[in-house]
Amino acid sequence: MTKSRIAAVDVGNDSIKAIFGELDYEVNIPNIIARDTEDRPVIGIEELDNKDPLEGIHLKVHSPALKENNAIYRVGHLATKSGSAEELDPGSSKSEEDQPLVMLLATLALDAAREENQSVFPREKNVIDANYTLGTGLPLREVKEGKDVGYRSKLAGSVHQVEFLVTPKFQGLKVNIKFNEVKVYPEGFAAYINLVMDNDLKVINKDLIDKRILIQDIGGLSTDIAVIRNRNVDDDKAQGFNLGVSEALESIREEIRSKHGIELDSRRDVVDIITRKNNRNHIMVKGNRTSVHDITDHILLELAKKQYRLLRNMWLKNSQTEICYFVGGGSNVLKDYLKTLNNNLDGYNIEFFEDEKESIWMMANAYYKLITDHVRKTEKKKAPKEPVKK
C-alpha cells in the first residue's frame, strides 16, 4: 500500500509556504509563473546538477483540473527573470484560476522528487508515484460562496503529473500526484487555530480561548476578517473583501520605474524594499543608494487607511470585540501605518506579530495542525479495538 505523506500548503498571493511530513521539510516559493518553451537556454549546463532546484523550476503540468493543460512554465525565482511573468490579479479567485493549482502541484512535486523521499514514494526509472494528504485553504469569501467544494473535487478526483524539464537535480523526472484526502479550510478559522492551539490542538493560549476576537488577515489580493465567538468562527458575521496589498505594490513598482527608470522584477522585490532590516525604502540607482520613501509612504498610507476603515466598520458591527489580531504578509507590510493610525484615531485593542516569520507562516502552520489532527483521528477510528476483558 502506498504511503500518504502529509502536506500543508498555503497558496499565498505573494508566495507559497508549505510544510511536509513530520515537520521534516518546509519550502517557500514566490507565487510567480511564466509560460515557457521546452528547451530553455542554460549557461553552464554541466553545472545544472549542482544548483538548488528552487532557483530553476522549469516544468510541464498535466492535470484535468487546469484550463490550460500540458502547459510549460518557469516557476518562482526563475519566473521573475522572464519578461512574461504572471502574478495573480486583484479580483481573481484562488479556487478558479490555473496559477494557484500550478503552484500547488509544483510545490508537491518538488517535495516528492527529493532524494530523502525515495523510500516514501515508489519510483520506476524516472517516474515517481506520490500520494498526499493535503491541508490547504481558501479566502473566507470563496468558502462562503461554496467554492471550496469544487476546488477540493478538482484536486482529489484526478491524477496530476508534473514533469521537470530543465530543473537542477530533477531534470527528466515525472511526478504523478494523487490525493488520499484533501481538506480545504477557511483562512480566518485557520488563523484562530494557530493563535490558540499547539501542533496537537491543545490549548496554549487560555487567555484568548473565550474572548471575542477579530482576526484581520491581509493578503495580496484580499482581506478576510474572521469573527470569533464561543471558540468558533461566526460565519454570518465574518467577511471577505477584495482589498489586498498587490495593487499598492504594483503602484510602487510603477512609480519607481517612472521616476527612477528602475525595473523591479516582481512585487516580491517591492516587499523586500519596504520590509528589510537594513536600507529599508532604498534602491540602487546607477550605483547610488537612493530613497524611495516618498513613493512607498503615500501609497501604503492610503491602503492602510482603507484597511483601518474595514476594521472600524467590523468593530462597530461587533461592539463587544475584545481584541483584533492582524495577520498575513500584508499586515507585515502595513504594520507601522496601522499602528500610527490607531494611536491617532480610535485606539482599538489591536495586536501584530513582531516575529515576521510567525505572521507569514501562520496559515501553513495552521493547516499543518488541522490536517495532522485529522489524520490522527482517522487512524484512531481505523485501529482495531482491544477486546473487552471479562
Q: What is the mean pLDDT of residues 105-111?
A: 97
Task: Indicate if the pLDDT at residue 264 is higher than 80.
Answer: yes
- Look at residue 288 and tell me if it is in a domain: no
Q: What CATH number did the domain enclosing 169 receive?
A: 3.30.420.40
Task: Indicate if the pLDDT at residue 88 is higher than 50.
Answer: yes
- Look at residue 198 and tell me if it is in a domain: no
pLDDT-derived band at 89 (thresholds 50, 70, 90) equals confident
How far apart, in Å, do the first and last CA atoms of the chain sit?
A: 36
Q: What is the mean pLDDT of residues 258-285?
A: 88
Each residue of 352-378: pLDDT tens digit? 876 777 777 888 998 999 999 899 888
Q: What's the domain range around 179?
A: 5-186
Concatenated DSSP letters for 187-219?
A: HHHHHHHHHHB-TT--B--HHHHTS-EEEEEE-
Read off the C-alpha cell for 339: 499602528
**Other residues' Cβ atoms within 10 Å of the Cβ of residue 210:** 12
3-state SS, one letter per residue, for 20-35: ECCCCEEEEEECCEEE
- Look at residue 195 and tell me if it is in a domain: no
- Look at residue 145 and tell me if it is in a domain: yes
For the chain, how many structural domains are there in total?
A: 1
Residue with cell 507585515: 332
pLDDT of res. 46: 46
- Look at residue 327 and tell me if it is in a domain: no
- Look at residue 182 and tell me if it is in a domain: yes
Distances from the Cα of 192 to the Cα of 218, 354, 370, angstroms: 14, 17, 11
Each residue of 321-332: pLDDT tens digit? 999 999 888 888
Question: Structure pTM?
Answer: 0.85
- Look at residue 193 and tell me if it is in a domain: no
- Look at residue 48 and tell me if it is in a domain: yes
Lowest mean pLDDT segment, chosen from 141-150, 250-259, 297-306: 141-150
Task: Indicate if the pLDDT at residue 48 is higher than 70.
Answer: no
Task: Indicate if the pLDDT at residue 161 is higher than 90.
Answer: yes
Task: Indicate if the pLDDT at residue 178 is higher than 70.
Answer: yes
pLDDT-derived band at 182 (thresholds 50, 70, 90) equals very high
Please list, in sequence order, all residues whose beta carbon lies within 8 angstroms of the beta carbon of residue 322, skipping any fewer than 6 positions away. Answer: 211, 212, 213, 349
pLDDT of res. 362: 84
pLDDT-derived band at 110 (thresholds 50, 70, 90) equals very high
Read off the C-alpha cell for 343: 494611536
> Which residue did the predictor score with more confidence, 178 or 226?
178
pLDDT of res. 189: 73
pLDDT-derived band at 275 (thresholds 50, 70, 90) equals confident
Q: What is the mean pLDDT of residues 372-388?
A: 78
Each residue of 212-242: pLDDT tens digit? 889 898 888 888 888 888 777 777 888 888 8
Distances from the Cα of 237 to the Cα of 77, 147, 232, 271, 317, angstroms: 39, 19, 12, 31, 8
